[in-house]
């Protein structure tokens, strides 16, 4: 793999940060074996940087690879297949994943001062070379523990990607009740999300809530369960917490029930996933 010295330096610095104990404004994904995750849900615009090993992803039946020196751009909420593949020499997979916040996206929209995007855009792999200066600032602010400046640097990155044609990043999300509920559950997955609690939170009666979700081809039960196991997948990839602890953190009092739901969703038991 031929990488410029700038990109090599950025990857080296990011890998050093990812393997340190420093708190980061993003997720560090790690695995020591290959894992294929089918129908992986991403709740919003996401950027992922493979640092050791690589990704494979498929949205429409065609597989694409994303290797170190490239960036995986998921422009908005999607469901797609992804495989994490460890580095052959070191037998480990490490990547950083940045879920862009509403505040960052709105800042970019305001700075660009353009009409809202309408196109979804495609998931794609982008070389880091064109963004080396911005990524260097992002890396340095994280190294120095300057969280506010690191978030600002990522807004600059979004603007550069938008200018390079990845305009779907700034598409306004659709007014989806399912998405609203999913975000609520993801923020506090261990909470007792009963129908009554959710009805009160969104201000909609039970029959209306069920009808609206049926129109969106889903149900309250599926939304809650999918949000919980999706958060569990993130915790499995980003922490060393025991499976029992993760189950409790995402709202399951029974490890067996959690394992069954996780296996039904992803095709692998959480203990084997790790």
Residues 50 and 70 in one domain: yes
CA distance 259 to 268: 9
Distance CA 138, CA 132 (A): 10
DSSP label at 117?
B
- Domain ranges, residue 150: 5-170
pLDDT at site 254: 95
Shared domain check, 68 and 159: yes
- Per the structure, how many domains does the chain have? 2
Alpha helix segments (H runs only) across 52-145:
102-112, 132-143
CA distance 191 to 140: 37
pLDDT at 274: 66
Q: Give the domain CATH number at 243.
A: 1.10.10.60
Render each residue's pLDDT in the chain as its tens digit; 274 residues: 557 888 999 999 999 999 998 888 999 999 999 999 988 989 899 999 999 999 999 988 899 999 999 999 999 988 999 999 999 999 999 999 999 999 999 999 999 998 777 888 999 999 999 999 999 999 999 999 999 999 999 999 999 999 999 999 999 887 789 989 998 999 999 999 999 999 999 999 999 999 999 999 999 999 999 999 999 999 999 999 999 999 999 999 999 999 999 999 888 899 887 6
Same domain for 27 and 154?
yes
Are 129 and 30 found together in one domain? yes
**Shared domain check, 165 and 39:** yes
Please tell me whether residues 140 and 25 are part of one structural domain: yes
Q: Contact, 101 vs 60, CB < 8 A?
A: no
Residues 241 and 120 in one domain: no
Question: For the domain that residue 66 is a member of, what is the CATH number?
Answer: 2.60.120.10
3-state secondary structure of 116: coil
Q: Rounded to whole angstroms, how far apart are CA atoms 78 and 114?
A: 24
Tokens of 12: 């080296």
């Amino acid at each position: 793999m031929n990488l410029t010295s700038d990109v090599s330096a950025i990857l080296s610095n990011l890998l050093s940060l990812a393997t340190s104990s420093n708190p980061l404004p993003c997720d560090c994904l790690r695995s020591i074996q290959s894992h294929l995750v089918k129908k992986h849900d991403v709740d919003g615009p996401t950027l992922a940087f493979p640092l050791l090993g690589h990704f494979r992803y498929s949205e429409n039946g065609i597989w694409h690879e994303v290797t170190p020196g490239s960036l995986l751009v998921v422009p908005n909420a999607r469901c797609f297949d992804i495989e994490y593949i460890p580095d052959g020499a070191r037998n480990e997979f490490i990547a950083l994943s940045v879920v862009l916040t509403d505040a960052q996206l709105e800042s970019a929209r305001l700075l660009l001062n353009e009409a809202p995007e309408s196109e979804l855009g495609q998931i794609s792999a982008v070389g880091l070379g064109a963004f080396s200066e911005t990524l260097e600032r992002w890396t340095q602010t994280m190294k120095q523990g300057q969280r506010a400046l690191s978030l600002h640097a990522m807004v600059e990155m979004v603007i550069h990607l938008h200018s390079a044609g990845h305009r779907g990043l700034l598409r306004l999300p659709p007014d989806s009740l399912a998405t609203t509920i999913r975000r609520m559950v993801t923020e506090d997955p261990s909470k007792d999300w009963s129908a009554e609690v959710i009805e009160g939170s969104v201000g909609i009666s039970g029959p209306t809530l069920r009808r609206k979700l049926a129109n969106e081809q889903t149900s309250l039960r599926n939304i809650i369960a999918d949000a919980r196991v999706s958060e569990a997948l993130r915790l499995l990839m980003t922490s060393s917490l025991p499976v029992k602890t993760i189950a409790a953190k995402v709202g399951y009092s029974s490890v067996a029930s959690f394992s069954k739901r996780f296996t039904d969703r992803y095709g692998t038991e959480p203990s084997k996933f790790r």
